[in-house]
Amino acid sequence: MSSPSSSILWRNEHMSKIITEIKYCMIQFFRNKGAVFFVFVMPVIFLVLIGYLFGGQAVSRTLYYNDCDVSMTSGSIINALNATGAFELYDGSGMDLAQLLKDGKISAYIEIPYGFEKNMAAVKSSENSDNVIMNLYYDGSKQTSMPVVSVVRQSIDQANMDMAGTSELAAISVHEAGGSSNSYMGFLVTGIIGMCIMSGAINLAAGTISGYRATGVFRKLATTPLSRIEWNISRTIAWSFIILLSVAISLLIALILYRVLPAFNILSMLLMISGSIMFTELGMIMAYVFKEGGSAQTIAFTITLPLMFISGSLFPIGNLPGFLQLVAAVSPLTYLNNGLRSSMITGNFGDAFTDLVIVGALGIVFFCIGVVLLKWKED
pLDDT per residue rounded down to tens, the chain (379 residues) = 455 655 665 566 778 888 888 998 899 889 888 888 888 888 888 778 877 776 554 445 788 999 998 988 888 888 888 887 777 888 988 888 888 887 667 778 999 988 888 888 887 776 554 667 888 888 765 656 667 777 888 777 777 777 655 546 677 888 877 544 455 677 778 888 899 899 999 989 988 888 887 777 777 777 777 788 888 899 999 999 999 999 999 888 888 877 777 778 899 999 999 999 999 999 999 988 887 767 888 888 888 888 988 898 887 786 677 788 889 999 999 999 999 988 887 778 888 999 999 999 999 999 999 888 877 555 5
Cα–Cα distance between 334 and 317 in angstroms, integer? 9
The secondary structure of 34-66 as a DSSP string is: HHHIIIIIHHHHHHHHHHHHHTTS-S--EEEEE
239 and 127 together in one domain: no
Tell me the torsion sign for CA atoms 226, 378, 302, 38: positive
The three state secondary structure string of 125-190 is CCCCCCCEEEEEEEECCCCCHHHHHHHHHHHHHHHHHHHHCCCCCEEEEEEEECCCCCCHHHHHHH
Residue 5, domain member (yes or no): no
Residue 359, domain member (yes or no): yes
39 and 70 together in one domain: no
36 and 148 together in one domain: no
Residue 265, domain member (yes or no): yes
Residue 101, domain member (yes or no): yes
Cα–Cα distance between 189 and 256 in angstroms, integer? 12
Residue 294 sits at φ, ψ, to 5 deg, of -100, 25
345 and 300 together in one domain: yes
40 and 81 together in one domain: no
315 and 333 together in one domain: yes
233 and 369 together in one domain: yes
68 and 39 together in one domain: no
- pLDDT at residue 141 in the model: 59
Cβ distance 208 to 238 under 8 Å? no
67 and 39 together in one domain: no
Q: What is the CATH number of the domain that holds 148?
A: 3.40.1710.10
293 and 229 together in one domain: yes
**Domain boundary residue among 129, 152, 177?**
177
Q: Which residues contact 359 (CB under 8 A, 6 or more apart)?
A: 271, 274, 275, 278, 332, 335, 336, 339
**Domain enclosing residue 294, as ranges:** 13-55+184-378
Residue 206, domain member (yes or no): yes
Cα–Cα distance between 172 and 78 in angstroms, integer? 13
Cα–Cα distance between 336 and 359 in angstroms, integer? 7
Rg (CA), the chain: 27
**Domain boundary residue among 155, 177, 199?**
177
Residue 227, domain member (yes or no): yes
The total domain count for the chain is: 2
266 and 374 together in one domain: yes
**Domain boundary residue among 159, 177, 195?**
177
Residue 234, domain member (yes or no): yes
Residue 350, domain member (yes or no): yes
121 and 267 together in one domain: no
